[in-house]
Amino acid sequence: MTPVEHAFSENGALASAISGFSPRQAQTDMAIEVANSIKNKSSLIVEAGTGTGKTFAYLIPALIANKEAAVKEEPQKKIIVSTGTKNLQEQLFHKDLPLIKKSLATQAQVALLKGRANYLCIYRLDQYKESRGQLDAESLADFVKVREWANVTHTGDTGELVNVIENSPVFPFVTSTVDNCLAKDCPNIEDCYLVKARQKAIDADLVVVNHHLFFADMALKDSGFGELIPKADIMIFDEAHQIADIASEYFGEAFSTRQLLDLCTDVIQVYKTSLTDVKQLGKAAEKLLKTSQEFRLLFNYDPERGNWREKHHQQRFGQAFASLKVDLDFLYQVIKLCVSRNEAIDHCFERAVNLLAQYDIMVDVDALGMSFWYETTPRHVVLHKTPLSVADKFSEYVKESGAGWIFTSATLAVDGKFEHFAQHLGLTSANHLLLESPFDYEQQSQLVVPRYLPEANDKSRANALANIALPLIEASQGACFMLFTSYRVMHQVAELLSEQIENPLLVQGQMGKRKLLEEFIEQKHAVLLATASFWEGIDVRGSSLTCVIIDKLPFASPDDPLLQARSEDVKRRGGEPFSQIQLPQAVIALKQGVGRLIRDVSDQGVLVICDNRLVNKPYGEVFLNSLPAMKRTRNIEQAATFLKSLNNNTEEQKLETETKLT
In a domain, residue 199? The reply is no
Residues 309 and 351 in one domain: yes
In angstroms, the CA 482 to CA 490 distance is 8
Q: How would you classify the pairing of strands 253-256 and 381-387? A: antiparallel
Average pLDDT over residues 70-85: 87
Residues 224 and 170 in one domain: no
pLDDT at 459 over 50: yes
Position 224 scores a pLDDT of 44
Average pLDDT over residues 232-241: 95
- At 524 the three-state DSSP class reads coil
Position 657 scores a pLDDT of 39
Residues 265 and 370 in one domain: yes
In a domain, residue 48? The reply is yes
Domains in the chain, number: 4
In angstroms, the CA 652 to CA 644 distance is 12
List, for residues 101-156, the tens digit of each pLDDT value. 999 999 899 999 998 899 999 999 988 776 555 667 778 888 999 999 999 999 99
Position 300 scores a pLDDT of 92
Residues 479 and 534 in one domain: yes
Position 75 scores a pLDDT of 80
In a domain, residue 220? The reply is yes
Position 648 scores a pLDDT of 74
List, for residues 327-356, the tens digit of each pLDDT value. 999 999 999 999 999 988 999 999 999 999
Using 50, 70 and 90 to split pLDDT, how confident is the model at 566? confident
Q: Judge whether 90 and 191 are in contact, CB under 8 Å.
A: no
For 652, residues 6+ apart whose C-beta sits below 8 A from its C-beta are none
In angstroms, the CA 40 to CA 31 distance is 14
- At 417 the three-state DSSP class reads strand
Where does a domain end: 435, 465, 492?
A: 435
DSSP state of 453: P
Looking from the CA of 612 toward its CB, the CA atoms found within 13 Å total 9
Average pLDDT over residues 453-466: 91
- Start-end of H helices in 151-229: 171-174, 193-203, 211-218
Residues 509 and 549 in one domain: yes
In a domain, residue 501? The reply is yes
In angstroms, the CA 189 to CA 560 distance is 42
Residues 503 and 370 in one domain: no
Position 522 scores a pLDDT of 92
DSSP state of 301: S
Position 473 scores a pLDDT of 96
Report the CATH number at residue 356. 1.20.120
In a domain, residue 238? The reply is yes
Residues 495 and 366 in one domain: no
Mean pLDDT of the chain: 90
Position 554 scores a pLDDT of 94
- At 414 the three-state DSSP class reads strand
Question: E strands of 354-475, at which residues?
Answer: 370-376, 381-387, 404-409, 431-435, 445-448
In angstroms, the CA 588 to CA 567 distance is 18
pLDDT at 278 over 60: yes
Position 586 scores a pLDDT of 94
Residues 239 and 266 in one domain: no
Longest dimension (CA), the chain: 82
Residues 418 and 474 in one domain: no
Where does a domain end: 148, 165, 191?
A: 191
In a domain, residue 660? The reply is no
Query: Which amino acid is present at 55?
Result: T
Residues 148 and 293 in one domain: no
Question: E strands of 439-554, at which residues?
Answer: 445-448, 480-483, 505-507, 527-530, 547-550
Query: Which amino acid is present at 491?
Result: H
The whole-model pTM stands at 0.84
List, for residues 430-441, the tens digit of each pLDDT value. 999 999 999 999
The CA-based angle 139-143-147, given to 5 degrees, is 175
Q: Judge whether 179 and 259 are in contact, CB under 8 Å.
A: yes
Position 22 scores a pLDDT of 87
Position 317 scores a pLDDT of 97
List, for residues 207-219, the tens digit of each pLDDT value. 999 999 898 887 7
Q: How would you classify the pairing of strands 505-507 and 527-530? A: parallel
Look at residues 409, 405, 524 and name the one whose alpha carbon lies nearest to residue 476.
Answer: 524
Q: Judge whether 237 and 243 are in contact, CB under 8 Å.
A: yes
Using 50, 70 and 90 to split pLDDT, how confident is the model at 660? very low
Average pLDDT over residues 19-26: 89
Residue 313: which domain range? 253-387
Report the CATH number at residue 446. 3.40.50.300
Residues 60 and 99 in one domain: yes
In a domain, residue 105? The reply is yes
Residues 218 and 269 in one domain: no
Give the phi and the psi of residue 253 in degrees, each rounded to 5.
Answer: -130, 155
Position 388 scores a pLDDT of 87
Position 367 scores a pLDDT of 83
Q: Is 299 exposed, middle or buried (0-12, 13-18, 19+ CB in 10 A)?
A: middle
Average pLDDT over residues 570-598: 91
In a domain, residue 66? The reply is yes
Q: What element of type H or E holds 97?
A: helix 97-104
Q: Which long-range contacts (CB under 8 A, 24 or more apart) does 467-470 make?
A: 468/549, 468/608, 468/610, 468/636, 469/493, 469/497, 469/527, 469/549, 470/497, 470/500, 470/501
Q: Judge whether 595 and 536 are in contact, CB under 8 Å.
A: yes
Query: Which amino acid is present at 409?
Result: S
